[in-house]
Amino acid sequence: MISVNDFQNGMTIVLDGTVYQIMEFQHFKMGRGGAMVRTKLKDVKEGRVIEKTFRGGEKIERAHVEGREHQFLYREGDSFIFMDVETFEQISLGSDLMGDSINYLKENMNITVTMYEGKPIGIELPLTVELEVVETPPGVRGNTVSGGSKPATLETGAVVQVPLFVNVGDVIQVDTRTGEYMTRV
């Protein structure tokens, strides 16, 4: 059992016999009442999203998930093919299961596939990835008080805001949790 005060994004819980993954949570307090936790939960098996509010301190059963290391091989239409690095088995995951992770996924990248009862429920990327800038306008410094930024399209198709000194062909480091530029490599 786990307290709702210990919720984290990506954590899995069992609620009324159904396994949910916590997509978002927010602690709040209403006037004289006790603390509450508002959550957005995704049904692992059916993919539907529900919103549920819990009282602070309430206990919920935690679903135990297994993380296995996989290597991303290639994309085939709407499916992404991964290989287990230990058993060399290949699995296919749909883009609906991948979420925003698609924007930072490169071929041959090692990731963790989270599984519940032998079925994949999502992936965990490394905290940062290094991606090449394939398109960005030239950095013209204008009437800016601070550094300024410009949009840059990366090799995976993701668009991030980068400083003016970043050019096409540069390799940059991106935070996969927030999608923000970190540094030039």
Percent of the chain predicted with pLDDT > 70: 96
Residue 112: both structure tokens together: 């963790």
The answer to which of 26-30, 85-89, 115-119 has the lowest mean pLDDT is 115-119
Q: For residues 135 and 1, give the distance between their C-alpha atoms in angstroms, rounded to a whole number.
A: 49
Considering only residues 173 and 115, tell me which one the structure prediction assigns the higher pLDDT: 173
Provide the whole-model pTM.
0.70
Domains present along the chain, CATH in parentheses: 2-62 (2.30.30.30), 66-124 (2.40.50.140), 128-184 (2.40.50.140)
What confidence tier does 54 reach under pLDDT thresholds 50, 70, 90?
very high
Per-residue pLDDT of 145-167, as tens digits, reads 566 788 999 999 999 999 888 89
Residue 144 has pLDDT above 60, yes or no: no
What confidence tier does 168 reach under pLDDT thresholds 50, 70, 90?
very high
- Are the C-beta atoms of 148 and 168 separated by less than 8 Å? no
Q: For residues 23 and 95, give the distance between their C-alpha atoms in angstroms, rounded to a whole number.
A: 16
- 60 forms beta bridges with 2
Q: For residues 131 and 4, give the distance between their C-alpha atoms in angstroms, rounded to a whole number.
A: 37
Of 74, 72, 75, 94, nearest to 83 by C-alpha is 72
Average pLDDT of 6-33?
A: 86
